[in-house]
Chains A and B, each alone.
Chain A
Amino acid sequence: MTLQPGSALTGLRGDRYILGPEKGKGGEGIVYAVKNKPSLAAKIYKAPNGMLERKLKCMVDHAVSPYIDGKLMLAWPQDVLYSNGRFAGYTMPLVKDVSPIYVLCRNNPDHVNDCHTLFPTYRWSYSVVVAYHLAWVVDHIHKNHYVLGDMNSNNIVIHKDGSVTILDVDSFDICDPVTGEHFPCTVGLPEFLAPELQVPDLRRAKFSEHSDDFALAIHIFQLLMNNYHPFNSRTLSEYKRSTPLNPQQMNIVQGNCPYVKQIPNVTRPVGAPSLQFLPARIQTAFRTTFNYDEINALSRISSRVSADMWRQLLYDLYERIRKGEMKVCGNNPEHMYFPSHGGCPFCLAQQAAPASGSGASASTAPPPSSSVTRSVRSGSVTRSSPAPVSGSGKKAGRLSFFKSLLS
């Protein structure tokens, strides 16, 4: 019998769950609301199997609290679901009113599904707060001796208060502390996979806290660096593609991060800011994690910056912002920078964009006047956000925003 809204399921201790409306669909199954327990959601698998059942039982028996400081941070399995005695899925806390992390990383001139969807008054500092919360939840999971595994950007969602929830917890890489059975993570999106996981078959790969730390560093990088991926680059010489890996994956395998080392004929993408505007310790943390080569990549795995360390580094940055040490950009109040840096790194990067692409064909530059349906932003200064207001008022607003996030 197919399960559908209205179907009744039973939990491990005999609790009854009635499926409500469908909430979402994935490759592995469908997520429903739970009609008689509104704080829960139920995931029903397309192909339930014995190993999944044992894994979920283990996760329920050795549960990590989904809440940290009162915030829902983990959609941790709450009960295992059976339909007429047959394993069917599991329940988890219902996560509402969130956006995937990639939406927060996006900042488009026409505001389609970007950071303004979540934060109409978006500021760079908001990304710092989200990065901090992400490091916090990853650290929490590691302190409980679990590995996230598939840290792709669909599995990390952001609330309007800047807190973070991890979804698809059933894909975690875990070991049953009693039986010792290993339930490996076998899925991942290549753009977040560490070099040791860039292999043809993820079932043979070894996910670890350190591969989580690598993915965490990529997410933090994208949050702080205007959505640029640390391993995207621009090749100045003729572009060759001789492997099945795309250039981004090749760069991860070879450690070609143009932000942390000099690579012949390779530069940062057009429009990407330099790492130099970040506090020295955060720059060092990115270097420690991303500066390796194909030969030493494996020996450097355990030296990656941990989630705990990221949490501290980002908290320090947040404290410096709170104390008013960073300046709001006069051209675009969403940007912030340390006065010692001279100018706004985001504006500088965007102003440099057309010039550094000068060898390109005419089509590279935005058209002078668009013949299609919207105007094109030629630089950050023209965005239609409110003009910068005087310092004191803005600072107060930002402070209260932070306070509400971290109280």
Chain B
Amino acid sequence: MPSRHEILSPLPPVNPGEMHVPCVLLVDNSDSLNCKGPNGRVPIDELNDGLVAFRKALDDNPLALGRADISIITFNSTVQTQLPFAPAANYVAPTLTASGCTAMNQGILTALDAIEARKSEYKNLGIPYYRPWLFLLTDGLPTDGRYESEAKRRLHEALQNKKLNFFPMGVGNADIAHLKSYTADGSGRVLKASATHFKEAFVWVSNSIGLVVNSDPRLGTVNLEPTPSNVALL
């Protein structure tokens, strides 16, 4: 079973003289993403378009493009590292297919492991870094409940120690209250989008990373881009 283990090797950071920001896009590719939305579009297609739009948005911010390292991890019945950590300039949008259940908790654990590994690589090389980003997108309830307490414990620990920026986003029929319970003391922010506005959400993530590298990390919280009109902050 490939779950929770990286199959491909990460690529080393480029521009080692500059501060880096590691960012994991942890996305749901369970079977429910095959269900046609109200506009007749299939969510998994929207998701794939979003991953392409993310690439274009990264290109619009050359400072961030040289400092961000991106990894894409998906979860359905298993967790798969679709794109191990690599410089943003090397990001190629994967084409995802949807099937199976929703192993979101294991996905979170894999993502946190990947971030820790990238951080220790930075430390070994002497590369300073901004607070890592974990962007989680799901449209359902996790089906791997036995990992839930571990996933929450590690998330909460990272958030309390200010070691992570966590942005969960629920789409379609996602259970927002349940997602909220993963945020810092269960009251953090959750993004909500209809199942047809993934693209805007990914562009928002990219623009926000652009703001991070142009901001003062002392402030802790960055003034993020306003969320797009069809992505609500709950």
Q: How far is the CA of A118 from the CA of B216 in the complex (A)?
A: 28
Q: Identify the stretch in A86-94, A122-130, A231-239, A306-314 within 8 Å (CB) of chain B at 4 or more residues.
A: A231-239
Q: Per-residue 0/1 for A206-245: is the Cβ within 8 Å of any B Cβ (1 yes, 0 no)? A: 0000000000000000100111110011110001000011
Residues of A contacting B92 with CB < 8 Å? 373
Set B14, B19, B83, B220: member contacting A191, Cβ < 8 A: B19
Q: How far is the CA of A111 from the CA of B127 in the complex (A)?
A: 21
Q: How far is the CA of A191 from the CA of B10 in the complex (A)?
A: 27
- Residue in chain A with minimal CB distance to B117: A363
B124 within 8 A of A: yes
Establish whether residues B218 and A190, one from each chain, have CB atoms under 8 Å apart when the complex forms. Answer: yes
Q: How far is the CA of A108 from the CA of B15 in the complex (A)?
A: 7
Residues 72-122 of B at the A interface (beta carbon under 8 Å):
83-84, 86, 89-90, 92, 117, 120-121
Q: How far is the CA of A361 from the CA of B127 in the complex (A)?
A: 15
Q: How far is the CA of A242 from the CA of B220 in the complex (A)?
A: 14
Given A233-B126, A271-B125, A372:B90 Cβ within 8 A? yes
Question: How many residue pairs, one in A and one in B, have C-beta atoms under 8 Å apart?
Answer: 132
Set B84, B125, B129: member contacting A364, Cβ < 8 A: B125
In this complex, the interface size class of chain A, counting residues with CB under 8 Å from chain B, is 35 or more
- Residue in chain B with minimal CB distance to A153: B63
Establish whether residues A234 and B125, one from each chain, have CB atoms under 8 Å apart when the complex forms. Answer: yes
Establish whether residues B16 and A270, one from each chain, have CB atoms under 8 Å apart when the complex forms. Answer: yes
B150 within 8 A of A: no
Establish whether residues B11 and A367, one from each chain, have CB atoms under 8 Å apart when the complex forms. Answer: yes
Establish whether residues A269 and B89, one from each chain, have CB atoms under 8 Å apart when the complex forms. Answer: no
Chain B's nearest CB lies how many Å from the CB of A354? 11
Q: How far is the CA of A275 from the CA of B14 in the complex (A)?
A: 21
Establish whether residues B14 and A108, one from each chain, have CB atoms under 8 Å apart when the complex forms. Answer: yes
Residues 109-157 of B at the A interface (beta carbon under 8 Å):
117, 120-121, 123-130
Given A112-B89, A270-B16, A363-B121, A245:B218 Cβ within 8 A? yes
Q: Per-residue 0/1 for A343-379: is the Cβ within 8 Å of any B Cβ (1 yes, 0 no)? A: 0000000000000010111011111001111101000
Q: A109-B14, A374-B90 are in contact. List 4 more A-B contacts (CB 8 A).
A: A106-B15, A106-B18, A108-B14, A272-B126
